[in-house]
Structure 1
C-alpha cells in the first residue's frame, strides 16, 4: 500500500474512532437501581440468662446502633458520633439527630408500600429526637412502626421509616419482624429485628 494512502486510511480510522467516542459520551447514562439489603435478627437489648444458673438476668438498657452506609452494627463506644443512623432497644427506635445527638439525623413515617416509595416525598418533614417521651419515631401500638395485640408485636405493612442518616443522607426502612428467627409470635424470643432497607449514598432523595 502506498505510504500516502496508508496515512489517509489511518487518519480516517482515527477520525471515525473519535466520532464514535463522542457519540457514546452524548448518550445519557443508565440510572443504576439501588440495592435492597436485609438485616436478620439484629438484637435490640434482649433479656439474657446467667451462664451458670440459666436464670434470667434482664436486659442491659443499652441501644444497638446501626449504620446504613456500612451495613453493620456500630459499637456503643461510637454513640456520641455521627457514625450511626438508628438505634434500637425493645420497640424503641432512635435516630442520630435532635437534642444531645452528634448527627444530622431525623425521621419521617411514610404511609404506603415499601416498593412504591421511590423518593423522599417533597412534603416530608424530618424531625429529630427531643427526649425519651418525644421521639421522631413514636413508640406505642399504632403510633409508629407496629401494633400490639394478643401478646404479639406485629410490624405494620404500610408504614415505611424514611431516615435521614447521621451524615445527612437518606434511607428507607421497613421493619419485617421483632422475633428471633420468625415467625412472629409467643414462644419466639423477642427484641430481634429483621428489616430491609435502601440506602442512597449520593445525598440525593432518590430511593429506588
Structure 2
C-alpha cells in the first residue's frame, strides 16, 4: 500500500472520529439572566364597600423571557394589579378584569435571599384558584407587610423570594424591593406614587434546568 493511500486513510479516520465527538457534545447552556425592573406600574381601580372587594382594572402582565411587560392575552408569566400578583396558570379567583389563565405557570414563596435560593423546589409550586391566588394576599401573608398607622406604608417583607415556573416550563426567582415610584430609600405613603414595582429577578432560560 502506498504512503499516499495510508495517509488518506488516517486522515479519513481522524475526520470521522472528530465528527462523532462533535455530535456527542452536549448543547452548551445559555447564560442565566439577572435583571432589575424599575417602576413597573400596576394601577388598580376601586376599593371596598361594606367589606366586599370591588377592585378592578387591567392587570399589568410580565414575561420573564423578554424581561418586559406585555399586552398579550396568552404570552405572560405573572401579572400585577395593586397589591395582587397572579400567575398564568390555574383559574380565576373571580375578581373583576382578571385575565384568563391559558398556560401552566405556577409560583411559591421561598424564605432567604435571592442569592441563597439556588434551585426551584418542584414540590412547592401552586397555581391560582377559585379560593385565592397562589401568592397569598393580606399583610404578612405573601410578599408585603402593611405598616398601619401612622405611616400606612406597604413594605416588601424581607426574606421573601418569589420562585416562578413560567408558562414555558422554565424557572425564575424574584425579589420585590419597593412598591413606590423610583424606589425611595425612605418612602412616604402620602407623597410617593404607587403602585410602582421595583424588583430584581433571575431567569433560567435552559429547558429542564431547575438551578439558578
> TM-score normalised by the shorter chain: which range applies?
0.7 to 0.9
Give the conservation status (yes or no) of the 8 Å contact 1:119–1:207: yes
Size of the aligned set, in residue pairs, is 189
| C-alpha distance 28-95 of structure 1, shift in aligned 2 (>3 A) | closer
Look up the SS of the partner of 2:8 in the other structure. helix
The CA deviation string for residues 28-58 of structure 1, in whole angstroms up to 9 with x for no partner, is: 66655411122211101178xxxxxxxxxxx
45, 65, 70: which is aligned to 1:74? 70
Give the conservation status (yes or no) of the 8 Å contact 2:169–2:208: no
Aligned-residue offset at 1:142? 1.4
Aligned-residue offset at 1:160? 1.1
| C-alpha distance 99-122 of structure 1, shift in aligned 2 (>3 A) | closer
Question: What CA distance in whole angstroms lies between the structure 2 residues aligned with 1:35 and 1:167?
Answer: 16
Q: Does 1:197 align with 2:201?
A: yes
Look up the SS of the partner of 1:179 in the other structure. coil
| C-alpha distance 207-157 of structure 1, shift in aligned 2 (>3 A) | farther
Give the conservation status (yes or no) of the 8 Å contact 1:46–1:190: no
Give the conservation status (yes or no) of the 8 Å contact 1:106–1:164: yes
Report the counterpart of residue 87 of structure 2 in structure 1. Answer: 95
| C-alpha distance 23-168 of structure 1, shift in aligned 2 (>3 A) | closer
| C-alpha distance 159-68 of structure 1, shift in aligned 2 (>3 A) | same
Give the conservation status (yes or no) of the 8 Å contact 1:198–1:207: no
Report the counterpart of residue 129 of structure 2 in structure 1. Answer: 129
Give the conservation status (yes or no) of the 8 Å contact 1:95–1:129: no
Question: What CA distance in whole angstroms lies between the structure 2 residues aligned with 1:85 and 1:191?
Answer: 19
Q: Does 1:141 align with 2:139?
A: yes
The CA deviation string for residues 129-184 of structure 1, in whole angstroms up to 9 with x for no partner, is: 325xx211112221111222233222223111122233444322211222211224
Report the counterpart of residue 179 of structure 2 in structure 1. Answer: 178
Q: Does 1:4 align with 2:2?
A: yes
Give the conservation status (yes or no) of the 8 Å contact 2:145–2:156: yes
TM-score by length of 1: 0.75
Look up the SS of the partner of 1:11 in the other structure. helix
Query: How big is the alpha-carbon RMSD for the aligned residues of Structure 1 and Structure 2?
Result: 2.9
Report the counterpart of residue 33 of structure 2 in structure 1. Answer: 35
TM-score by length of 2: 0.74
Runs of 5+ in structure 2 lacking a partner?
46-54, 93-100
Report the counterpart of residue 85 of structure 1 in structure 2. Answer: 77
Q: Does 1:206 align with 2:198?
A: no
Runs of 5+ in structure 1 lacking a partner?
48-58
